[in-house]
Amino acid sequence: MATIGDVARVAGVSRSTASYALSGKRSISTEVRERVAAAVRELGYTPNAGARALATSQTMVIGLLAQFLRDEFAPAMMQYILGVSDSARELGYDILLVTEEDGTRALRRITDSRMVDGVVLLNVAEHDDRLDILRSAGQPGALVGLPGDPRGVDVFDLDFEATGRLMVERLHRLGHRELILVSQPEHVVERGGAYVWRLRNAAVEHARQRGITVHAVFGSSQQPHIGAELNALLDAHPDATGLLLNNEAAAAALPTVLHTRGLGSPGDLSVIGRYSDEFAKSFSLPFSFIESAPDRLGRMAVDHLVRRIEQSNEAVGGHVVRLVDPEFVDRGSVAAPRAAATGHGR
Amino acid sequence: MATIGDVARVAGVSRSTASYALSGKRSISTEVRERVAAAVRELGYTPNAGARALATSQTMVIGLLAQFLRDEFAPAMMQYILGVSDSARELGYDILLVTEEDGTRALRRITDSRMVDGVVLLNVAEHDDRLDILRSAGQPGALVGLPGDPRGVDVFDLDFEATGRLMVERLHRLGHRELILVSQPEHVVERGGAYVWRLRNAAVEHARQRGITVHAVFGSSQQPHIGAELNALLDAHPDATGLLLNNEAAAAALPTVLHTRGLGSPGDLSVIGRYSDEFAKSFSLPFSFIESAPDRLGRMAVDHLVRRIEQSNEAVGGHVVRLVDPEFVDRGSVAAPRAAATGHGR
DNA sequence: CTGAAAGCGCTTACAG
DNA sequence: CTGAAAGCGCTTACAG
């Protein structure tokens, strides 16, 4: 490979002049600039990234720590990764993808060895061991997922409490008085998946304030089981007119369950899910839902991270916790309950 | 951050001795080795990856070029990425993930700038522009997906021709005489997705040799359409007793289609799909299938790539095209057709 | 068994 | 507007 020394020699200038001609960091005569450009073309010169990183202390690489947890919907992770990767590239950064089981060790490795200028953590838990490592690292970090203690990092997440309230409010206004909420499995909560109880608690509390009932349960994340559970729930609560889903597997299983029971939506049951548009498309789900916006969250995290990397801390300001407002995507599965509309039970 | 100079000073040795003590590349007295180790612990020293890369010309990073094509099943990509990432880590390598739309430009960027020691290409097409770049790059490359011209690279893929034959043979032996094969959409073929016609042509040819009929069609990759198409196919070929699917969307839609028509499998219809175990689990598909083995292929590609990186070309030998034998995963959706078993049409 | 020195390929003050 | 030189943090022949 050609080096900048080769470029300099061919162009008949010094290495520093060649470097400045390429970076534009000081004024260069037109003639020299063109000679350098010609030499670059002739030699097919591309700067050595490692050498540049060593000289500038900037790698132009962002570390992306994905975490694949048991019983979480793995394909959904792809969306976050793409959001992060695509927006990083637009800003001139490449992505070092780390899928190691032991996230703390991996995080320490890539920050201590200065492989990256900053780090995005995915799937952050309520108490996440990676945060201590990150806070003592020399590089800034952005999280997707709200931890219990967000000090020293920038956080981006869907506002799951507002999501819970919105789901309940929407149905309450239409006259629903008895709802079912199916969350992720309980061990997702135990492992620190705080978004599960944030949505759940907010929904339950909001229902209480409105004086309506919500049967809140944890569902399985595997397809055969969750189908049976949904059936059992519908049997147990025949007067429920609304179904809220914070559980991808439940959403995927529901069409078959409804079909088997001969139920229509929203005719017999109003349904609101919480998942991504991409997920809805893959499974062609016919339900209205709250968009979980993985690409948008990934993008926000990267944008902010890059500002922290490139600007002074004073310019960027204090650390932020940015919770995205839930967006209701109407697919027509929500309506007034039969009981309220016609005066008959269903 | 502490440098090796700091370590040397604290340990009271020269930098070269500190370096050798860490790498073990020459014999060091026990006493010095321990002093260096203590200094490393005390300072929390980790070598600077960029500096090491510059000195050794080895980055310990593998570039992973994912390619997201319209109408291919995006979640499936995650499996390949995980296979590559996990096995790279086991061999001491990190992954630079590139999802850029313009794969050729991205490939040139990461190889020319020496950010990576080698490269894995995913979703390789029959005529793939990235191959020319790769062949003229200084780093070795491994492909997942068989291109028309595999010279100069190592290739790993499922044996799609054997897969087509196996699907047909399996049903032929049980007495099936009329089959339907649903492939990916035709524009996947046009774009260069050679695996589609490889499987299809082999299946058709094998059926011809066996003197049985196979209705080979291209299906949609979107859920509402493919469902309608499956229904139309079953209407058009009422005597077909076997259904072969080289199309993820078709597999995902089939349970509902069968249920709606009141058909059982294998009672009324034998079914064989081609997808990954992970996919089968996500959609809880009740069909026997040929495992597409994304994790295994990713692993094979990395193993071989690392050998090329670390050993001489003579030691590794000529470039390979490794086609994995199709593995039939029995989920009980294949049996003798009713007509053959009972003497009645269905 | 250990050290002084050169070199990897850049960038960027310092000098003119 | 341009050049000679130092330095980023490592590794590794060269010498002893």
- Give backbone dihedrals phi and psi of B206, rounded to 5 degrees, phi first: -65, -40
Nearest to B50 among A73, A96, A114 (CB): A114
Instruction: Please check whether strand C approaches the CB of B54 to within 7 Å.
Output: yes
Pairing state of beta strands A61-65 and B61-65?
Answer: unpaired
Q: Domain A61-158+294-324 sits in which CATH superfamily?
A: Response regulator (3.40.50.2300)
Q: Which helix (H) or strand (E) holds A173?
A: helix A160-173
**CATH architecture for the domain at A160-293+329-342:** 3-Layer(aba) Sandwich (3.40)
Pairing state of beta strands A118-121 and B321-324?
Answer: unpaired
DSSP 8-state class, residue B326: P
CA distance B153 to B130: 11
B92: contact with A, CB 8 A cutoff: no
E-strand spans in B126-176?
A: 141-144, 154-158
Position B290 scores a pLDDT of: 98
Closest alpha carbon to B287 in B270, B305, B308, B304? B270
Give me the percent of chain B exceeding a pLDDT of 70.
97
Position B346 scores a pLDDT of: 39
Position B233 scores a pLDDT of: 96
Average pLDDT over residues B162-166: 98
Positive or negative CA dihedral for A48, A50, A54, A56?
positive
Domains A61-158+294-324 and A160-293+329-342 share a fold: yes
Average pLDDT over residues B171-176: 97
E-strand spans in chain B?
A: 61-65, 94-98, 118-121, 141-144, 154-158, 178-183, 213-218, 242-245, 270-275, 288-291, 321-324, 327-329
User: What six digits make up the tokens of A226?
Assistant: 């969750």
CB < 8 Å to B115, chain A? 49-50, 61, 94
CA distance A185 to B130: 43
Position B57 scores a pLDDT of: 93
CB B283 within 8 A of CB B251: yes
Distance A24 CA to C7 C1' (A): 27
Taking C1' of C2 and every protein CA, the nearest residue is B17
On average, the pLDDT of chain B sits at 91
CB A168 within 8 A of CB A207: yes
- Please state whether the peptide bond connecting residue A266 to the residue before it is cis, i.e. omega within 30 degrees of 0: yes
Average pLDDT over residues B179-196: 91
Q: What angle do CA A105, A108, A110 make, to 5 degrees?
A: 110
CA distance B182 to B234: 11
pLDDT of B293 > 80? The answer is yes
Nearest to A282 among B47, B75, B99 (CB): B75
Amino acid (one-letter) located at B37? A
Per-position pLDDT tens, chain A of length 346:
889 999 999 999 999 999 999 988 888 888 888 999 999 999 999 999 999 999 999 999 999 999 887 667 777 788 899 999 999 999 999 999 999 999 999 999 999 999 999 999 999 999 999 999 999 999 999 999 999 999 999 999 999 999 999 999 999 999 999 999 999 998 888 888 889 999 999 999 999 999 999 999 999 887 778 889 999 999 999 999 999 999 998 998 898 889 889 899 999 999 999 999 988 887 778 999 999 999 999 999 999 999 999 988 888 889 999 999 999 999 999 999 985 444 333 3
CB < 8 Å to A94, chain B? 96, 98, 110, 115
Instruction: Please check whether strand C approaches the CB of A310 to within 7 Å.
Output: no
**CA distances from residue B275 to A117, A210, B163 in whole angstroms, order as listed:** 38, 48, 11
A92: contact with B, CB 8 A cutoff: no
Q: What angle do CA B284, B290, B296 make, to 5 degrees?
A: 95
- Please state whether the peptide bond connecting residue B266 to the residue before it is cis, i.e. omega within 30 degrees of 0: yes
Instruction: Please check whether strand C approaches the CB of A56 to within 7 Å.
Output: yes
Q: Report the Cα A337 to chain-centroid distance in Å.
A: 34
A276: contact with B, CB 8 A cutoff: no
Closest alpha carbon to B286 in B273, B300, B299? B273
Q: Domain B4-47 sits in which CATH superfamily?
A: lambda repressor-like DNA-binding domains (1.10.260.40)
Positive or negative CA dihedral for A236, A242, A244, A245?
positive
Q: Report the Cα B36 to chain-centroid distance in Å.
A: 44
Where are the domains positioned within chain B?
Answer: 4-47, 61-158+294-325, 160-292+329-342
Closest alpha carbon to A252 in A218, A217, A277, A227? A227
Scanning A44-102, the segments in alpha helix (DSSP H) are 49-56, 74-90
Instruction: Please check whether strand D approaches the CB of A17 to within 7 Å.
Output: yes
Judged by DSSP in three states, B57 sits in coil
A28: contact with B, CB 8 A cutoff: no
CA atoms within 13 A on the CB side of B226: 27
Other C-beta atoms within 10 Å of B44: how many? 11
In the numeric block, the tokens 């040819």 are attached to B205
Domain B160-292+329-342 belongs to what topology? Rossmann fold (3.40.50)
| Residue range B230-285, pLDDT digits in tens | 999 999 999 999 999 999 889 988 988 898 898 999 999 999 999 999 888 877 78
A278: contact with B, CB 8 A cutoff: yes
Determine, for residues B49 and A278 on separate chains, whether the beta-carbon distance falls below 8 Å. no
**CATH architecture for the domain at B61-158+294-325:** 3-Layer(aba) Sandwich (3.40)
| Residue range B63-115, pLDDT digits in tens | 999 988 766 777 778 889 999 999 999 999 999 999 999 999 999 999 999 99
DSSP string, B264-325: -TTTT-EEEEEE-HHHHHHTT--SEEEE--HHHHHHHHHHHHHHHHHS-HHHH-S--EEEEP
Average pLDDT over residues B273-299: 91
Position A313 scores a pLDDT of: 80
Instruction: Please check whether strand D approaches the CB of B282 to within 7 Å.
Output: no
Average pLDDT over residues B172-185: 96
| Residue range B319-331, pLDDT digits in tens | 999 999 999 999 9
pLDDT of B344 > 60? The answer is no
